[in-house]
Structure 1
Amino acid sequence: MPSRLRPADPVAVAAALARVEADAAERADLRLLTKHFLALLEERAPGRSVEVRVPPYAAVQVIEGVRHTRGTPPAVVETDAATWIAVATGRLAWADAVDGGQVRASGERTDLAPYLPLG
Structure 2
Amino acid sequence: MPRPAKPLDASDLRRAVQLLDDGEVLDRAETARLVRAVCAELAGRHPGGSIEVRVPPFAAVQLALDDAGRHRRGTPPNVVECSPEVMLRLAAGSLTWLDALATHQVRASGTRSDLAGVFPLIG
* TM-score tier after normalising by the smaller chain length: 0.7 to 0.9
**Structure 2 runs not aligned, ≥5 long:** none
Question: What's the offset of the Cα at 1:69?
Answer: 2.7
Give the match for residue 47 of structure 1: 48
Structure 1 range deviating more: 65-74 or 43-52: 65-74
Residue correspondences, number: 118
Identity %: 43
CA distance in 2 between counterparts of 1:18 and 1:34 reads 15
Provide the aligned C-alpha RMSD in A. Answer: 2.4
Structure 1 range deviating more: 10-19 or 99-108: 10-19
**Structure 1 runs not aligned, ≥5 long:** none
**TM-score normalised by the chain length of structure 2:** 0.80
From the superposition, tell whether residues 29 and 19 of structure 1 become closer, same or farther in structure 2 (CA, over 3 Å). Answer: farther
Does the 8 Å CA contact 1:83/1:102 hold for their aligned counterparts?
Answer: yes
Q: Match of 1:52, as an amino acid?
A: V
Does the 8 Å CA contact 2:54/2:80 hold for their aligned counterparts?
Answer: yes
Give the match for residue 91 of structure 2: 88
Matched, 1:100 2:103: yes
Give the match for residue 74 of structure 2: 71
Q: Describe the SS at the equivalent of 1:60.
A: strand
**TM-score normalised by the chain length of structure 1:** 0.82
